[in-house]
Amino acid sequence: MNNMFQLSTFPLQLAKQNRLTKFGFCDDDWSASSEHSSATLPSPNNSGSFRLWSNDFRPVDVLVNDENDVLGAIDWEFAYVGPSQFILDPPWWLLLDVPEMWDDGIEDWASTYERRLET
């Protein structure tokens, strides 16, 4: 019990030393070193450009007007910056149904997917 009381006064001691802010410790070692350190992992050569990307981007997340002009996108929960090469992968939602659930079998799913992929 005595140790718990001693530890509970720790923030009070830091406040008296002007080392406590409302967000945490203003003079801790990690914050001080991170402000002056350079990037330790440079990007590889020929990595190309990076774009905003979302793994959860579906047609329902696109806002359009009456003329089908794209006005914006919503649902940015899983958005991040990724390499431009990601656009080369076909979207998973192209048919909105997985092959296992396709009524006419996987061969029909594959041929329909290939036709949609060309458009």
> Domain ranges in the chain?
2-36, 50-118
Comparing 115 with 15, the larger pLDDT belongs to: 115
Cβ-based burial of 53 (10 A; exposed 0-12, middle 13-18, buried ≥19): middle
The answer to whether the predicted template modeling score (pTM) of the entire model surpasses 0.95 is: no
Residues shown for the chain: 119
Report the distance separating Cα 45 and Cα 26, nearest Å.
Answer: 37
For residue range 43-56, what is the model confidence (pLDDT) as tens digits?
Answer: 666 667 888 888 77
Distances (CA, A) of 22 to 4, 18, 26, 32, 96: 22, 11, 9, 17, 48
Flag whether pLDDT at 67 surpasses 80.
Answer: yes
For the record, the structure tokens of 59 come out as 């047609």
Flag whether pLDDT at 5 surpasses 50.
Answer: no
Arithmetic mean of pLDDT, 77-101: 78
pLDDT of residue 88: 76
Antiparallel, parallel or unpaired: β 24-25 and 20-21: antiparallel
